Structure 1
């Protein structure tokens, strides 16, 4: 096969080497040719002693490409897929589960996610830390996923007959999504079932309602946050006002299985709850600190309980960690996921993007929860058997019990003051 000579193909070759060379220094190579923030890096700028792009390594990757072209048994190769795999290899070599390369389609899906509207089945999916398989953490009300009978804690084993073991969460979600009216078959493992379940779901346009509210007994308000997107802040503001209009005297904030999302969204929500001070602060690799503040003008003035579990991650931990540090609410449930790092998305001019971990975050009291999580004030595991049988939620019941006692204490104080 004739050796390709144009710059784009040369870059694919360079990327292949970087994917093979398992080194944390290869991040710099992602900017070799692609413009970012209006600047373009030249080959002379990246070929230094700290770069994987030495003359020797560039020559070697050309040899690998030549060898593939000469001997690989398939003549018609998908060069686009090859290029995407190369770029993904560059980022995956970092060994960071949160850093990721996005193809054009994947980046478009990601952006539609943050806007709360996309085309798929309407299920929230997170990666299980133990099995390394995607797990459904919830379904959107009236979505195709709900209608098909998918449930929280269902583990996805295959998508349309293809095993998802070893795939990234983005890759799995990309397989599940598709055009409106088409169908996707999920092979599911569900606790208590003797065999895998085969569930077919028809894709549709999904508009995520990230906030759901209701009034519980004794004027206790409930607000569930499924994730933190650009639409979440407005929905939260409306939800809280709706509960206040109904004479709410205490509040349950349900962050269970909330995988996180936008840092700006969770900070905006925190500013409707916290006293004056830090919401969270971040520290980058150079020790630079950035503080995210709350002015305290909207500090909540009623008893609060926050529900969390092992799939409450990232932005969920920022909110629950701040509430715990300030002592303005009781954290109830199970130790959270432990994702105490921040990512930033770097879009490129060709429509692709890279998401990189750029800093650690710390709770207001300076707690680093990465890999540790947040321990609840009251630890109680969900009784899955009772929940699946008749919807009994022992964690929520505990929150209501705690809030009733807090309301009673508050009432006694008022009586004494009178």
Structure 2
């Protein structure tokens, strides 16, 4: 399929603070920018053309796409806002929350965020394909949303007392975003409980990798938390592994909990650090052409590895976890992952606008399609609501954290088994 390194993203739909899913995306100049000044209809047609060329499903999810073009181009558009509304309505017919239109303000905000100037409340949201609920994928660690206790799978019922039922995802994003030090109230549904959270928007500094050395009876182990697959995640991960190897770690815990995803190639590069060989992921486009990303370069460690996942581990996190699980390189601990197996490209359209388009499906090395299904951990460890409420931020990734505690126990078993294997004498050889 010819994957372009910077053009593919596998993050969740929309990020309110950080455009993780769009970070580093390749921006292709649009030919119709100048013409759009004379005819807003050109934007509508350009959006249609992009879908017609690139959308992953050649049936357009059962839509007569040529009839859609006739419908929308038969109308008159005299202002940009009318064209933006038409573009969104047209894309909604695909019933794909990951394919979306961004007006100039939203697209500019995304570009600013990918440059590192990040402000907002710090949650990743998506729109459930069946219920249309605005749903939290995960909060960004250390963000106002995380501090307020927003969790993966929370449903946002209202934004500043405005119901989200029937609300477009872009509208929800626009309402939650805002200036630093301003407030937004989210009405949350969690199970049978409904409550309000008042969040103060902030400027958030995000480093994708947080690493530390933990002492155990079997020697030091490396704990690495990866919070997003941004353009600099692989570099930070490489430095963390090398530094921990220098300090003689005997194994690693890789924490992907609440990681909403990001760049496809960032995920692949990190997988290569743990995999000496084998397939990492395969993608299939609308023509059925498959492209495989493989390991074989950049390998850094063969030490025992345990990976933590949960319902907030999405897309690029699932690619990495699936690659390590299918290649039997790591033990996965936690709960089932989010379940997003689609790849998007991001590109400008019209005069300063942009769109994200689903262009491919991805599969784990064993051929699993995890979209809407998620990845099951090898060892399931659920955290009850009572346990979650009792855990403080300082308790995460400590023995008080049940998932981390189990991961550490399994890692120690793996370390002991590897050490025993290394101590076995080599088989005697003889020459006939």
TM-score range, shorter chain: 0.7 to 0.9
Deviations 1:346-398 (A, max 9, x none): 21251111211111112222222223222221122223322321443211111
Report what 1:28 is aligned to: 49
Counterpart position of 1:40: none
Q: Shift of the alpha carbon at 1:321?
A: 0.7
Instruction: Say if 1:120 and 1:178, in contact at 8 Å, map to a contact too.
Output: yes
Distance 2:65 2:352 in 1: 30
Partner of 2:158: 158
Partner of 1:396 in structure 2? 404
Give 3-state SS (helix, strand or coil) of 1:346's partner: strand
Matched, 1:410 2:418: yes
Tell me the number of residue pairs that the alignment of Structure 1 and Structure 2 aligns: 369
**Distance across 2 between alignment mates of 1:328 and 1:321:** 10
Q: Distance in 1 between matches of 2:419 and 2:347?
A: 52
Indicate which of 16, 39, 44 corresponds to 1:8: 39
Distance 1:96 1:49 in 2: 14
Q: How much does 1:28 deviate?
A: 2.8
285-294 vs 323-332, which moves further: 285-294
Give SS of 1:287's match. Answer: coil
CA shift for structure 1 position 158: 2.3
Secondary structure of the corresponding residue to residue 180 of structure 2:
coil
* Structure 1 gap segments, 5+ residues each: 1-5, 19-25, 37-47, 66-77
Structure 2-normalised TM-score?
A: 0.75
Higher helix share: 1
User: For residues 29 and 277 of structure 1, what CA distance do their matches in structure 2 show?
Assistant: 34
Residues 322 and 83 (structure 1 numbering): CA distance in 2 closer, same or farther, change over 3 Å? same
Q: 1:169 to 1:393 in 2, by over 3 A?
A: farther
Give the conservation status (yes or no) of the 8 Å contact 1:343–1:357: yes
Distance 1:11 1:297, change over 3 A: closer
After superposition, the CA RMSD in angstroms is: 3.3
Q: Would the alpha carbon gap of residues 122 and 297 (structure 1) be closer, same or farther in structure 2, given more than 3 Å must change?
A: closer
Structure 1 pair 388–53 and aligned structure 2 pair: CA distance change class (3 A): closer
**Equivalent position of 1:21 in the other structure:** none
Change (3 A) 1:155 1:220: farther
Please state whether the residue corresponding to 2:274 is helix, strand or coil. Answer: coil
Over 3 Å counting, the alpha-carbon distance change for 1:107 and 1:58 in structure 2 is closer
Distance 1:242 1:396, change over 3 A: same
Q: 1:57 to 1:79 in 2, by over 3 A?
A: closer
The answer to whether 1:233 aligns with 2:225 is: no
Residues 162 and 322 from structure 1, CA distance in 2 versus in 1: closer, same or farther, beyond 3 angstroms?
A: same
- Structure 1 counterpart SS, 2:204: strand
Q: Larger RCO: Structure 1 or Structure 2 (Cα < 8 Å, ≥ 6 residues apart)?
A: 2
Distance (whole Å) between structure 2 residues aligned to residue 279 and residue 88 of structure 1: 34
Report how far residue 121 of structure 1 moved: 2.6
